[in-house]
Chains A and B, each alone.
Chain A
Amino acid sequence: VTRGGRPVADLAVWLAAVAAPPALTALLFPLGGYQRDYIFLYLGIVAVLGLLRGLGPALVSAALSFLLVDYFFVPPVGTLAIADRQDLVNLLAFATTACLVGLLASRRRRALLESEAMARQLRDANSEMVRLNAEQAAAAQAAVRLARSEQQIRNLEETDQLRRELLANISHELRTPLATILAESTDSTGARSAREGQRRLNVIAAEARRLKALVDDMLDMARIEGGGLALHFEPILLEDVITAAVDRLHHPSPEREVSWDAASAAVEVLADWDALGQVFDNLLANADRFGPPDTPIAVEVSREEPGLVTVRVTDRGPGVPAELQDRVFDRFVRGGGGGGGGGGPSDDDAEVGTGLGLPIVKGLVEAHAGGVVLENGRAGAGATFRFTVPEAPKEP
């Protein structure tokens, strides 16, 4: 079964169909009386042609062979007539066999062709599938890449959004004290007495100090969040840290009583002196701000978890309002008014925090591998802030 060069091959096969039976006849003719023993050779020609080019050439060569055999080998020789009844039967059998051989051969050929076509289709399908697989894999990879970059874009957008909110917040926080300073310093109304002048200067100085505290806290916050904290961990007696922090609190609030038990505080923790001091400063200042005058702040030290020291700072204030409890450690979230609440016109002198004290506490405590939470609504108390700090390793 050949492929390619079809018209030429076709012509060759048709020529063979016409030329092969006479050629065989020419070969057999000299054999004389034994010719009829070799008649089956014609069937070979028919079979080969059938295999090569199908039924058409096979039938042509079969018909030609029949006529040639009849003419040259069947008595009366030299005519197409048939004298003997037996010869007629033989010839018919020959013709039938030739047709059958041609048919079978051509079928065989078609089957071969079909199986080859099928094999080709299979091959094509297979390579198509391989190609599709490759494409699909590429598409899947592209989808993964796209999803990844979309996630990155979302992250960037979130970061950007947070940064813009932070900037807006900072702008807000800076503008309010500035507004007081500008308003006081440009006020041309009222008596220009020395006392009024002094009052304005005091207000302006207080606001300037507030701005300074705000800028300091913002820098601390930036150091904590930017990983710029340089902490020096060493074994420290917790008692010493508390004593120093209470002393510092008594500068602005000499009246405020702080109660704590020296025995339970006589424990060594692994901490940075300044950072742990700032944690106490901020928690005490917070408690001082919200506790009503003449109420004590309680500092309790206990051992509740292995390897950790637990500290509670509790005030007698109103506690943290429910709507703020989830956000007390967020930046620039402040309790209302202060000084016992009420939010009325009487709290004009209430001190305002920077809104960064608790976020800084959280950042510093976490830098010590500890944790801080708000415990609200303990009986007889306002807000309680509980934090943990690691115990110093025992000397061997």
Chain B
Amino acid sequence: VSRVLIVEDDASLRSSIRSILERSSYEVRVAGDGAAGAREIATGRFDVVLLDIGLPFVDGWRVLAGLEGRRLPSVIVISARGEEEDKVRALDMGADDYLAKPFGADELLARIRAVLRRAQPPAGPGPVVRSGCVTIDLTAHSVTRDGAEVRLSPTEYGLLAALARHAGEVIDHRTLLREVWGPSYGHERNYLRTFIQRLRTKLEDDPHRPALIVTAGTRGYRLEKLGR
């Protein structure tokens, strides 16, 4: 059973989301403001957090900033201001997905399924991929750089794993979005741009002149096979 935390200040919406999720057999906890949300998250018992950005007392942005560098949970930001800059900012700050109010129940459930799937990449053994000073162990789901572990969020890892399974080949945007985010995605290039940039910041020597994760023109991205 996957555990979901709802951090939403509006009681009606909180209660609606709660009953929708409970009927889909999720285990649900709720928090009414940012401070309570942060306390719940700190217990570390959640797979997914639905985080409203416009919270009283402690801003949702601050809750999100406090989650930087986590492995879990996946975070879906809910915002009543469906503006592009908010979306980009949320993704930049480490959210895994973004949902603008109002949204339908089916859309909400699809997003939750998608982040859960990303957090549990295909089971079974996979190769260990090495490129430059970065090592990606597709079995243990671990990434090291110069021997030190790199902490990646579920979506960051999912994207890197997708590139690593086809190291040396170009994967186009659509394929990457479908493989990592899910079958209903395909046009969200800004998601890709944001997450590629985040991976570069964590893995590249110089994120502005990437040697490892290379942009292949307008087609897609490629993980280079570099010798040591």
Give A residues with C-beta under 8 Å from B: 168, 171-173, 175-184, 186-191, 203, 206-207, 210, 323, 334, 336-337, 343-345, 347-350, 352
Contacts and interface: CB of A to CB of B under 8 A. Distances in A.
Given A172-B81, A187-B105, A348 B36 contact: no
B213 interface: no
B159 interface: no
Contacts of B23: 187, 189-191
Nearest to A338: B11
A343 B36 contact: yes
Contacts of B108: 183
B34 to A, nearest CB: 10
B15 to A, nearest CB: 4
Nearest to B40: A345
A352 B9 CA distance: 10
Given A189-B105, A336-B57, A343-B31, 17 more contacts: A171-B81, A173-B80, A176-B10, A179-B103, A180-B12, A180-B102, A183-B13, A184-B20, A189-B23, A189-B109, A190-B20, A191-B23, A203-B12, A210-B12, A345-B31, A348-B14, A348-B30
B17 A183 contact: yes
Task: Kindly name the residue among A183, A187, A323 whose own CB sees the greatest number of chain B CB atoms within 10 A.
Answer: A183
Interface of B: 9-20, 23-24, 29-33, 35-36, 54, 56-57, 80-82, 100-109
A183 B102 contact: yes
Given A183-B102, A336-B56, A345-B30, A203 B16 contact: yes
Contacts of B57: 323, 336
Contact of A347 (B17, B20, B32, B109): B32
The 7 closest A-B pairs by CB, nearest first: A190-B23, A186-B104, A187-B105, A179-B102, A172-B80, A178-B102, A175-B101
A334 B56 contact: yes
Nearest to B14: A348
Nearest to B108: A183
Contact of A175 (B19, B20, B80, B109): B80
B100 to A, nearest CB: 8
15 contacts: A180-B12, A181-B102, A183-B16, A183-B104, A184-B20, A186-B107, A187-B23, A187-B105, A187-B106, A207-B12, A336-B9, A337-B33, A348-B14, A348-B30, A352-B11
